[in-house]
Amino acid sequence: MPTRVRIFFSILTVVFFFVAAAPLYRELSRPKDIWWTPHTMLVPLARSQDRVEIYLRGKPLGTRIEAGHLRLTDERGSSVVAPNEVGLRFNNWDRVRAEHLPTSLASAAAGGAMVLLFILVATGRLTYRDDQGMHDSSGPAPRSRG
């Protein structure tokens, strides 16, 4: 393979490698705490029962709050906790990671293929046998079919 062609394909595979590596880098460099439910969107205790159950001394927290068993003491005194005063935040990182897994695997496979192709092109392993012996007159003569 001529040197110019080898350099061209080497540069091309490096560019494709970075195109494949960019989504992986972006995914792996994100902060992990961004997947929590924002404070402004806290989920009320009643609406969160399909995802979480909280128990306090063996009984569900919602039951204890509705019965008035839970009190909050602060500098102003003591008051009974109402159900609308309890909110939950969820960490959705596991769900987001599961959604991004196929894309991440495809990017990793493409990046690996580009590294392999770069090595093959840079070392000259992708030359056809006909290219190597085409101008060499000392090579074996072509077989005739007759």
pLDDT in tens, the chain (146 residues): 677 887 888 888 888 888 888 888 888 887 766 777 777 888 888 888 778 888 888 888 888 888 888 888 888 888 888 888 888 888 777 777 788 888 888 888 888 888 888 888 888 777 666 655 555 555 555 565 65
| Angle at CA of residue 95, ends 40 and 49, nearest 5° | 60
Q: How far is CA 52 from CA 46, 90, 129, in A?
A: 10, 9, 65
- Indicate the domain borders of the chain: 1-34+93-127, 37-90
> What's the token pair of residue 25?
């880098």
Q: How far is CA 26 from CA 17, 73, 106, in A?
A: 14, 45, 14
Neighbours of 63 (CB within 10 A): 11
Whether the CB-CB separation of 88 and 39 falls below 8 Å is answered with: no
- pTM of the predicted model as reported, rounded to 2 decimal places: 0.45
Neighbours of 65 (CB within 10 A): 19
